[in-house]
Amino acid sequence: AQRVTQPEKLLSVFKGAPVELKCNYSYSGSPELFWYVQYSRQRLQLLLRHISRESIKGFTADLNKGETSFHLKKPFAQEEDSAMYYCALSTQGGSEKLVFGKGTKLTVNP
């Protein structure tokens, strides 16, 4: 079965410190992975996807198929990065859907 695990429910760092939000997945097919973010009082929105290999708001994420991970990283956290972050896996082949992890709440302290 497809599964996305975000082991940390809460993560707290200081401004300027590096941050890494962990995401591990379980899927037998070819994975397509995403990070979604929800800022306070805003809608859930796409942050980045592994296919585009882009950096959004200083965040990057690399798909590691060997470790089945898709960790989200930023070298210098900012207070405005405080939000709820969800990792998601897109499944294909007869059971197409988007499977979300339970999310990690990131707090960046001043």
Positions touching another protein (CB under 8 A) are 32, 43-46, 49, 51, 86, 90-92, 95-103
Considering the complex, what minimum distance in angstroms separates the CB of residue 35 from another protein? 12
Q: Minimum distance from CB of 16 to another protein (Å)?
A: 30
The smaller minimum CB distance to another protein, of residues 37 and 77, is found at 37
Say how far apart CA 82 and CA 102 lie, in whole Å. Answer: 17
Q: Could you tell me the CA-to-CA distances from 7 to 15, 25, 98, 101, 102 in Å, in that order?
A: 22, 11, 19, 9, 9
* 98 touches 5 (CB < 8 A): no
Contacts of 8 (CB under 8 A, 6+ apart): 21, 22, 104
Least CB distance from residue 102 to another protein, whole Å?
4
Min separation Cβ 24 and another protein, Å: 15
Closer by beta carbon to another protein, 12 or else 92: 92
Name the residue nearer to another protein (CB basis): 81 or 90: 90
Residue 77 or 103 having the CB closest to another protein: 103
Using alpha carbons, select from 32, 42, 34 the residue that is nearest to residue 6: 34
